[in-house]
Structure 1
Amino acid sequence: MIKFPDNFLWGTATSSHQIEGAATQGGRAWSIWDAHAHTPGRTHNNENADIACDHYNRYKEDVKLMGDLGLKAYRFSISWSRIQPDGQGKPNPEGIHFYNNLIDELLKYGITPWITLYHWDLPLALHTEKDGWLNPDIADYFEAYAELCFSNFGDRVKHWITLNEPWVVSILGYAEGVFAPGRKSREEPYIVAHNLLRAHGKAVANYRTKYQPSQKGVIGITNNCDWREPLTDEASDVEAAQRSLEFFLGWFADPIYFGDYPAVMRERVGDRLPEFSEEDRELIKGSSDFFGLNHYTGLYASDVPPGEEVQNAVYGNGGIFEDQYVQLTAGPEWKLTTMNWAILPWGCKKLLEWISERYDNPPIYITENGCALDDKPEDGKVHDPVRKDYLQSYLTACHQAMEQGVDLKGYFVWSFMDNFEWALGYSKRFGITYVDYETLERIPKESALWFKDVISNNGFEPDK
């Protein structure tokens, strides 16, 4: 039996834009993702999240399902434009009322709410009127929005995540343009990342000064990272893998733990990489009570001499190639999910150990881990043995990392239910609960029932 510590936290995660629907209901205004998805050609089959899973109207049914599965925690995000429609100014009472009801419903079932303040759905008005994340003033708008949440929900919510995956906002939103707001630039991703970190720092300082002493909660940030394994033992490939991790995770974690960007980024990005003011540095350094990690997969990394191009580039470089000069490849024998992401539990163990070593063994929560599969109901049930095996293998790797001294405190499956998968629309299913998008019926998959047993036993018998 693989057993986890008694206080290990078991949960699932979602985000507001992917599940809530009710796009213009209850006073909510459009976000950049509403505008992006309603622009022809931006999403799979031009699908949007106007209805999504209709969680806004079905949250009681969904929370009951979570209770039935024995979840200890539920990580969800707040739609900024639902509680502050234009991203500034007066709050929307209906939006605040919805999240109060959701929080109270979770507590009724003994489920601990974990709130993410920003999961990519910036109020559209802030983007069109104020240049969004490109404007340094966005940090102040975000701080004011965060305070709205702390003051309205913090009496019951004790776990806060400021930003979800700022790397995705910066790279997919402003370098590759496949995510909202759909911009393509070599300069803007670094400006956006800088302002995201400044916004995080200001929100944390606000919480710690005004709310943490009385509310007794914790606050942090969640970064995503895939593992990078050197393709060969050559020093150049070992350095390329390290460089790739620093451009990916170090970009956002180093300022929080060390006070500045990785030296290799300063060296290679040059004056396109902004400088932190002393005030910013003081706010950002030490600004996370835990290390939030979203992790799914990994790739081999090999060095590309400066000036050369990647040969047969199937995989994007996880950032701006001309700054990193790293080629990414997959092992031919690796099993893939429907996202074409490799199933690499050993990469999870290595990444946890890398984080622990680099950042002086911080408390870590895996705030997302899971896989997309082509799930279909049969006789009212959904068999997803590959997902069960995926979760079991990654949890085994987590346990092995903990045995090596990694301070892993909890694990959230992505996702509680199938949902709107951003630019991929409804074509990918990550949920442990199946959603029929025609009827909106929910069906717990076999992986959900397996996860229920894991939670109740605080561990599992590995398959022989």
Structure 2
Amino acid sequence: MFTPFKKDFIIGTSTAAYQIEGGWNEDGKGLSIWDVFSHTKGKIRDGSNGDVTCDTYHDFQTDIDLMSSLNMDAYRFSVSWSRVLPEGKGAVNQKGLDYYDRLVNALLEKGIRPFVTLFHWDTPYALFQQYKGFAGRETAQYFAEYAKVVVERLGDRVKDWITLNEPWEHAMFGHFLGEHAPGIKNPWTYFKVAHHQLLGHGLAVQALRSERSDLNIGITLSQFPVYPASFHPNEKELDSVEMADMFVNRFYLDGVFKGKYPEKLFSRLWPIVPKIAPGDMETIRQPVDFLGVNYYTRMYATRKWYIPFLKTWVDRNPSDERYGHPVLGAHAFPDGLKELTRRYREEYGNPVIYITENGTTEPGHNLEESQRTDDTYRIKYMSHYLGALKEAIDEGSDIRGYFHWTTLDNFEWSSGLSCPMGIIKVDHKTQQRTIRDSGYWLRDLIANQESRRR
């Protein structure tokens, strides 16, 4: 056990509404695109859905008590847009707001700091029917109106706000590859969704700040160092690395922090770039208080001559076994935290950083192994990633917190219930909770932090 962090460094866990709440059609909640997608045959790997999952809509107190027993400093959760605004706009569902009001109060009673994410991929289905979700510009404005509704109710107690979670994934997997809700396979809509999400972010920041001046507001981006798939790349392969980095990382970073998109990327993809209205980029570049980073691993870029314009494909699986981590295996890359945060220091003004997600299941997604409570692999994983995080801080990065993904075994999107990632094991038939060894390991780490704070 080590205590590498400053006294005010916070440690917690993350969840998302659709993945844990259940109560999918109760108390006036409207449908989300994930409600519809997960009920569509063949979309979820194990045939499950989010109708019940961890059932926190009916009982969040059990989990808050467990988090309190593990000394958690903070808890990151998301609000279901369609639980608050069943149609995505217009009439407010007070029972939905009441739920989050009670949740926030219960967290604060246990001394746990709430971090609220406003959008974690669950677009109201009504907005998808009317505007194709964020493929339509109108949804960005409705997102800001929704943000104002939520902050009016919770902003007196919740000070930490995240507008969007992982806009790249929502655009890529939901609207390009069709593997996530809403299941669209149309690369021509990708940049519309990406741009309109960032526009919604900027409008939401304005809405939040117009309501209160005492908020800590940020956005969460997934981030991946990009490497060539081969150990001896040629010039075209290196070009693919640059294109992939701009496509996955820099488009979002440059938009938020520089108010522009990478020119080289847009010159390559000019036939499918989004329509950018006057003032859009100024809106997207609203000052933020922090950058949330969801970091798991790196990506590998491959030259693909048949892919229009970009000529590039990215993959999270290494093509060469030499890329693997000596202890954690092929899919882990802790040092990427140092690589990414060095970029933020050098190119984006060294913003305040929270690691808003980082976690793992057992290698190979072996369900039987992943369900065990003696999860030594997860402990090794956290230890190596937190060690790299400490090195990044020592190098000068302003990193102020770490949120492990995830609190509970939940509905892991297209993997369903077959990918347990929680520090708390959940039996989804009985809703029985069991703290894993990794949870106790994290508890002891936080306890050592507490001793430094006194």
Same fold (TM over 0.5): yes
Identity of aligned residues (%): 36
Q: Give the superposition deviation at 1:2.
A: 4.6
Instruction: Provide the C-alpha distance between the structure 1 equivalents of 2:34 and 2:102, rounded to a whole number of angstroms.
Output: 25
Does 2:452 match 1:454?
A: no
**Contact 2:259/2:285 (<8 A) preserved:** yes
**Contact 2:407/2:422 (<8 A) preserved:** yes
Superposed CA RMSD in Å reads: 2.3
User: Aligned residue pairs: how many?
Assistant: 440
**Contact 2:202/2:284 (<8 A) preserved:** yes
Match of 1:407 in 2: 398
Q: Identify the match of residue 366 of structure 1 among 323, 346, 355.
A: 355
Distance 1:224 1:129, change over 3 A: same
Match of 1:121 in 2: 122
> Which stretch has the larger CA shift, 4-13 or 380-389?
380-389
Match of 1:422 in 2: 413
1:217-259 deviation line (CA, Å, top 9, x unaligned)? 1111101022213444767355543432221111111111111
Q: Give the superposition deviation at 1:456.
A: 1.3
Distance 1:341 1:418, change over 3 A: farther
Instruction: Provide the C-alpha distance between the structure 2 equivalents of 1:326 and 1:37, rounded to a whole number of angstroms.
Output: 27
Match of 1:32 in 2: 33
Instruction: Look up the equivalent residue of 1:449 and give its one-letter code.
Output: Y
Question: Where in structure 2 are there 5+ consecutive unaligned residues?
Answer: none
Instruction: Provide the C-alpha distance between the structure 1 equivalents of 2:148 and 2:410, rounded to a whole number of angstroms.
Output: 29
**Contact 1:222/1:293 (<8 A) preserved:** yes
Match of 2:389 in 1: 398
Instruction: Provide the C-alpha distance between the structure 2 equivalents of 1:454 and 1:342, rounded to a whole number of angstroms.
Output: 25
Q: Give the superposition deviation at 1:129.
A: 2.5
Distance 1:300 1:135, change over 3 A: closer
Does 2:181 match 1:192?
A: no
Provide the secondary structure at the position in 1 that maps to 2:267. helix
Instruction: Provide the C-alpha distance between the structure 2 equivalents of 1:343 and 1:255, rounded to a whole number of angstroms.
Output: 28
Distance 1:254 1:155, change over 3 A: same
Does 2:209 match 1:220?
A: no
Q: Give the superposition deviation at 1:375.
A: 6.3
Match of 1:281 in 2: 281
Instruction: Look up the equivalent residue of 2:42 and give its one-letter code.
Output: G
Match of 2:6 in 1: 5
Q: Give the superposition deviation at 1:49.
A: 0.6
Instruction: Look up the equivalent residue of 2:224 and give its one-letter code.
Output: D
Match of 1:312 in 2: none
Provide the secondary structure at the position in 1 that maps to 2:335. helix
Instruction: Provide the C-alpha distance between the structure 2 equivalents of 1:38 and 1:60, rounded to a whole number of angstroms.
Output: 28
> Which stretch has the larger CA shift, 100-109 or 38-47?
38-47
Distance 1:184 1:415, change over 3 A: same
Instruction: Provide the C-alpha distance between the structure 2 equivalents of 1:375 and 1:42, rounded to a whole number of angstroms.
Output: 19
Q: Give the superposition deviation at 1:48.
A: 0.5
**Contact 1:385/1:447 (<8 A) preserved:** yes
Q: Identify the match of residue 354 of structure 1 among 330, 335, 343.
A: 343
Where in structure 2 are the equivalents of 1:96-175 lying within 5 Å?
96-175=97-176
Instruction: Provide the C-alpha distance between the structure 2 equivalents of 1:56 and 1:335, rounded to a whole number of angstroms.
Output: 40
Instruction: Provide the C-alpha distance between the structure 2 equivalents of 1:11 and 1:180, rounded to a whole number of angstroms.
Output: 28
TM-score by length of 1: 0.90
**Contact 1:268/1:324 (<8 A) preserved:** no
Q: Give the superposition deviation at 1:194.
A: 0.9
Instruction: Provide the C-alpha distance between the structure 2 equivalents of 1:265 and 1:287, rounded to a whole number of angstroms.
Output: 24
Distance 1:354 1:321, change over 3 A: farther
**Contact 2:12/2:72 (<8 A) preserved:** yes
Provide the secondary structure at the position in 1 that maps to 2:172. helix
**Contact 2:305/2:311 (<8 A) preserved:** no
Instruction: Provide the C-alpha distance between the structure 1 equivalents of 2:239 and 2:441, rounded to a whole number of angstroms.
Output: 40
Match of 1:442 in 2: 433
Instruction: Look up the equivalent residue of 1:249 and give its one-letter code.
Output: N
Where in structure 2 are the equivalents of 1:245-394 lying within 5 Å?
245-301=245-301, 304=303, 308-309=305-306, 322-326=309-313, 328=315, 330=318, 331-333=320-322, 342-373=331-362, 374=366, 382-394=373-385
Instruction: Look up the equivalent residue of 1:347 and give its one-letter code.
Output: G
**Contact 2:321/2:330 (<8 A) preserved:** no
Q: Give the superposition deviation at 1:133.
A: 1.2
Instruction: Look up the equivalent residue of 1:452 and give its one-letter code.
Output: R
Distance 1:87 1:389, change over 3 A: same
Instruction: Look up the equivalent residue of 1:325 and give its one-letter code.
Output: T
**Contact 2:269/2:309 (<8 A) preserved:** no
Instruction: Provide the C-alpha distance between the structure 2 equivalents of 1:445 and 1:335, rounded to a whole number of angstroms.
Output: 26
Distance 1:100 1:141, change over 3 A: same
**Contact 1:10/1:410 (<8 A) preserved:** yes
Instruction: Provide the C-alpha distance between the structure 2 equivalents of 1:324 and 1:168, rounded to a whole number of angstroms.
Output: 20
TM-score by length of 2: 0.92
Match of 1:315 in 2: none
Match of 1:241 in 2: 241
Instruction: Provide the C-alpha distance between the structure 1 equivalents of 2:218 and 2:174, rounded to a whole number of angstroms.
Output: 22
Instruction: Look up the equivalent residue of 1:421 and give its one-letter code.
Output: E
Match of 1:317 in 2: none
Provide the secondary structure at the position in 2 that maps to 1:162. strand
Q: Give the superposition deviation at 1:381.
A: 7.2
Instruction: Look up the equivalent residue of 1:412 and give its one-letter code.
Output: F
Distance 1:238 1:377, change over 3 A: closer
Instruction: Provide the C-alpha distance between the structure 2 equivalents of 1:446 and 1:348, rounded to a whole number of angstroms.
Output: 25
Provide the secondary structure at the position in 1 that maps to 2:58. helix
Provide the secondary structure at the position in 2 that maps to 1:220. strand
Instruction: Look up the equivalent residue of 1:256 and give its one-letter code.
Output: V
Distance 1:104 1:321, change over 3 A: farther
Provide the secondary structure at the position in 1 that maps to 2:77. strand
Instruction: Provide the C-alpha distance between the structure 2 equivalents of 1:144 and 1:50, rounded to a whole number of angstroms.
Output: 27
**Contact 2:301/2:312 (<8 A) preserved:** no
